[in-house]
Structures are given as structure tokens and as C-alpha cells.
Structure 1
């Protein structure tokens, strides 16, 4: 059982690690200044592909549930993160995003009966400190709208994670993932057209390769692994893994882009990894029941884009 659980954690961790490569792919392969277009082209094609493969459409209440989950996990979350990334200095949005484990713990306690413990709260606080050391800069300036958007995005995605556990679809995992990607992409499409408009130049081969990677690997594969983890583990365990995204983004920037890496950033990475290990330690029996059995079964059928682009 321990081996199976560890395997599930490791496989789920691949999702935020993949999302951590998004900044590198975007800056090296995609047209500059179009993160919302990247979000649409990542979500919609991936969702259509998964639905086409599974040939399953939502039934009954899952028409509106898929819309709600797609908005929370993808559409509204990405739009808020876009606002935060453009109005806040580097690292601030990512640091506020690292508060998500605390949000998920609170919602899981209220909606799923998951027990909060000092160990998990302490691990979450350590994760915030670690991410801050990784990405936060001393000259960071704050903006009220940007702060509200970043906190809103954190709450929105945290709510999506918990509801994804509470609402268990009777359809296959890939079908449910596809529904959410389509819903999120459709919600994001008019925002992208309004804010960024249509591309003024033809896409290059590198642009197409980047969008294909984001759609197939960054969305279809990564979100399927993420939602699979939510089904098998507790939401708190899963959301801690999201701290790997800024960690991987920093490591890729150092290895592939030649960005400097300070001692404080190394310390931050170590703290993040330690908080992840602490959060994945053996849960009490009640929490393990929450992880294995969903609460509700549904029987009815360019200023700084680093935080934005390394997130889901």
C-alpha cells in the first residue's frame, strides 16, 4: 500500500513539474506578450482531443459541473493570474500562489472532513517561505489590483481542487479532464480576443512546436495526471505538489537559460522540498479515508510572465 501511494504521489508530481517548464517553452518558442492566447491554445485543442478519444459527453448535472470546474481550475484562474503577472513585480504572484495549500486545507476541513494538523500548517508556511526565497526580490512593489487578482487566483484554483475531489465523475478520467479543458478554454477565449486580439503575423515552426507541446504535454497529459492524483490522494497532499512548479521553473532557468542562482534560492528550494516531504508523510486514518473515498458520488449521467507561465 505504501509503495502504491508513493507511486501515485510521484506520478502526480509530474504535472506541476511539467507546468514548471512552461516559462522556458513560452520565452523560447512562442510569440511574446500573448499568455492568454497560449492558455486558449493549450486548453481547447487538448480538451477536444481527449473528448474525441473517449467519445464521452457530460450527462445530467455534469454539464454545469464541468463548466464550474473548468472555470475554477483553468479559465478564471488563468485570467486572474494574467492580471496579477502584469500588475505585480516578479515573484510576488508566485509567492501568493504558494498560499494555496493553506486555502485547500481550510476548504477540505469544511467540505471533506479532512483533519488540519500543526504539521501540515507548518509545512504550508515553510513552503511559502521557500517559494519566496526562490522567486521574490527585495525591490518588489505592490499593487492593490494585482494583489487581489493573485489572491483571487489562489482561492479559485484551491476551490477547484477541493470540488474536483468532492464531485466525482462517473465518466473516465480522460473524458472528465477533456470537459474541463474545453470549458476553461472557451471561457478564456473571449478574454484573450478582447485583451490580446488575433495574431498579426503568421506562426513560425517554432511557435507551432511550442503550442503543440503546451497542448499535448502541458495540458492533456499534465491535467490528466493532476486530476488522477486528486481522485487517489487527499486534496491537501496534491496541492502541496504545486510548489514544484516555481522550483522547476527556477531550475530550468538556471540550467537552460544561464540565469544566476543565489544561495538564498538554493536554500528556498531545499525548504520547498522539505515541506513537500513533510506534507506527504503518513496521514491519520480519517485523512486516508478522505483520500480514498470521495465525499460525493454522482450517479447521474510582458512585464514579468514568470509566475503566469510556470503555473497550471
Structure 2
């Protein structure tokens, strides 16, 4: 029996390794994505940009579904749930995210979005799916303190508690809601299916909302590189990253998956520094340290409380 258990653990390691590598890739994709989005928004309005990049994502997940022989449509019994998740996880999230990053610093956006795991725990606790404990409370308090340090500097260079910061925070809450409410459907139907279905459900709304912006674009003045950047944000920033994230949630659980999100603001700050010249301020770095500590406390201690005894 001992050998059998050892063999099962050995067989699981390669699978978990690919999942972990996929989540590491997701952190890199999302970290770079902040600066890419910021660059594209210098040439395109936010809703028009979303309307261009979402078709790239929709085609990418369709190709993956076809290649793996997965069902192209959800069962009728899941349509309402898929529609709701599409609105929360794509329409609301993307609008708040795209306008937020347009109105604040790239580093602020990445740090505020990194708070979403704490809101996941808080929402799950409110729904009775997670036991509210001291770890979650400490994590929430520390995260709120870090956010206060980050966005209340009284200077636009730091963020100044502006509308952009508040919109990105709304995006973090939207992503947390999508994560909590989509977990059971992902376990039942699969990460690729849920990613594709919810994205397609949101696609018509996002395109219609972006048409007025697209009609005002002077296409002759848009550099070719902007099209490649738009494709990157759609195919990698949305389709591939969402898929790898959902796969991680299903394979290794919420706590281990969410650890990789701590890397995103670090990569985003470094990329913005190198590409956009956004030198991190002392206040940003202080806020980052407190925010990431709060997220780590909430997830780490909560995860240990859930871990079964050996």
C-alpha cells in the first residue's frame, strides 16, 4: 500500500509541475499586460480597445475548444449562470480595469488588482464557503492599510486617491466575485469550457459598447505595433491567462494558485519602470509591501487552518 501511495504522488508531480509553470507564465503575462494596455490606450479609447481585443480572445478559446474536442456550448441548465459570470468576470471587470488603468499609474493598478485574493476570502466567508477567522481579518486590515498608503499621497504622481484607483479596486472586487461564484461551475465543466463560455457571453455587449469609440478612430494614424499589442492583450492577457488561472484553481486549489498573483505587481512595476519610465516612489513601495503582506497573511494562515491533519 505504501508503494501504491508513493506511485500516485509521483504521478501527480509532473501534472502539478505543469500547472505551476502555467501559473508562473500567467503572472508574467499579466505583469507585462499592464504596460501593454497603457501603451495601447495612448492610441485607442478604452471601450474601443476592449471591442478590438475581445474578438482575439474569443477566437483563441474557440480554437482551443475545437482542438480538444470540448463542447462548444454549455448545457441549457447552465446558461443563466454562464451569462451572470460573463457579465461579472468580463463586462464589469474589463470596463473597470480598462478605465482604471487609463486614469492611474500602471504600478497602482497592478497593486490594487493584487488585493483580489483577500476579497475572494471575504466574499467566500460571507457566503459561508470559508470560515471567517483572525487570519482573514488581519489580512483585510493590512490590505486596507496598504491601499490607504498607496492612494492617499495627495499627488497625482502617486495616485492621489483618484477615480482610476477606485475603478481598479472595483475590478479587483469583480474578479474576486467571478472567482468565488465560478469555482463550482469550473469544477463541474472544466476551466477551458467556462473560460470560453463566459467570454462569448460577454463578447456582444463589449463590442456594442465599443462601436462609438471605434467610429472616431483615425486608423491611418494607428501604428502597426498597436495591432500586435492588442492581439497580445486579447489572446494572452485574456484567453490564455484566464484559462491557465482557472486550470490552476481546479488542479491545486485556491490558496496555492493565488500565491502566484503576488508576482504580478512586482513584474508590472518593473515593466512600467523599464518601458514607461514610471519610477516607483517610496510611497508605492511602502504600499506594495503592506498590501502583499496582508494578502500573504490572509491566504497563508487561512490555508493552514483548512489543511487536514496528516
Range of TM-score over shorter length: 0.7 to 0.9
2-structure distance, mates of 1:253, 1:146:
17
- Mapping 1:77-226, distance limit 5 Å: 77-84=93-100, 90=105, 97=113, 99-111=115-127, 113-130=129-146, 133=149, 137-139=153-155, 152-168=170-186, 170-195=188-213, 197=215, 199-202=217-220, 203-226=222-245
Quickly say closer, same or farther: Cα 1:279–1:45, change in 2 above 3 A: same
User: Which sits farther off after the overlay, 222-231 or 250-259?
Assistant: 250-259
Does residue 248 (structure 1) correspond to residue 263 (structure 2)? The answer is no
Structure 1 residue 159: Cα displacement: 1.3
Taking only aligned residues, the RMSD between alpha carbons, in angstroms, comes to: 3.8
Does residue 48 (structure 1) correspond to residue 62 (structure 2)? The answer is no
Number of residues paired by the alignment? 287
Residue-by-residue CA offset, 1:134-174 (whole Å, 9 max, x unaligned): 6664335557x878755544433221110111323644422
Structure 1 residue 260: Cα displacement: 2.1
Quickly say closer, same or farther: Cα 1:217–1:155, change in 2 above 3 A: closer
Quickly say closer, same or farther: Cα 1:233–1:134, change in 2 above 3 A: farther
1-structure distance, mates of 2:146, 2:267:
13
**Gapped regions of structure 2 (runs ≥ 5):** 1-8
Kindly indicate whether the alpha-carbon contact (under 8 Å) linking 1:47 and 1:180 is maintained by their aligned counterparts in 2: no
**Gapped regions of structure 1 (runs ≥ 5):** 290-312
* Alignment match of 2:82 (pick from 53, 66, 69): 66
- Mapping 1:227-246, distance limit 5 Å: 227-235=246-254, 238=257, 241-242=260-261, 244-246=263-265
Residue-by-residue CA offset, 1:102-127 (whole Å, 9 max, x unaligned): 43223212436222332233234334
Quickly say closer, same or farther: Cα 1:100–1:65, change in 2 above 3 A: same
Find the structure with the greater CA-based Rg. Answer: 2
More helix by share: 2
